[in-house]
Homo-oligomer: A and B are copies of this chain.
Amino acid sequence: MDPACWLCQHGAVPYHHGSLREALVEAGVQLAAESGPDAVVLREVSRRVGVSHNAAYRHFADRDALLHEVSARAMAAFGAVMAARVAATRQGPEPEAVAARLEATGRGYVQFAVEQPGLFRTACAFSLGDVAPHGDAPHPYAQLSAGLDAMVTAGLMTPARREGAEIAAWSAVHGFAVLVMEGPLAGVPEAQREAMLDVVLRVVREGL
């Protein structure tokens, strides 16, 4: 079947949309990106897709079901940004490379929060473990864990220090992200922000 809808840029809007569910989720992601999870509102989502505001009920039990789906997409985008940042970093098993990749994980975390605050908040809206990411990129937390495991394997961290390291690293990076995104550090110029992040990451690295 040919969807032939404006969303898919094929011409006229058909009565049967063909992929309304997907279109609704995408519009939801757009809204979340613009204004956070509270903006994912059934009526506005339907409006954007160009469909009556109750059509969504053919595809979602209620607003919450849609929001969960949107949150999963946000989480996937989050993981993808982090993974891309790690992939762009020096590969290989050498200690410097392993440490650089862990640092890239943290930088990717903050990058996503800064560039996509709405999606960041949407991804965090449900207890972070609640939502399985939709897509291929691993969950942010899994990436952090893997990075710390690699540190131990590379001999950069003792197994004793590994204990609780996720929490400490996550806390520092997440806290920085929140401060920069909506706290007192909102609006500081990028260069200064990067310098601050350097300090945070150094403290974490040396503390671990």
Question: Footprint of B on A, CB under 8 Å?
Answer: 124, 127-129, 141, 163-165, 167-168, 170-179, 182-186, 195-196, 199-200, 202-208
Contacts and interface: CB of A to CB of B under 8 A. Distances in A.
Dominant secondary structure at the A interface: helix
A109 B175 CA distance: 13
Contact of A204 (B127, B173, B184, B203): B203
Contact of A173 (B127, B175, B195, B202): B175
A199 B167 contact: yes
Given A203-B208, A207-B205, A124 B183 contact: yes
Given A171-B173, A175-B177, 8 more contacts: A127-B186, A141-B184, A168-B172, A168-B200, A170-B179, A171-B175, A174-B175, A175-B175
Highest count of chain B CB atoms <10 Å: which of A141, A182, A206, A207: A207
The 5 closest A-B pairs by CB, nearest first: A175-B175, A207-B207, A203-B207, A171-B175, A164-B199
A24 to B, nearest CB: 25
A150 B96 CA distance: 35
Contacts of A183: 124, 127-128, 174
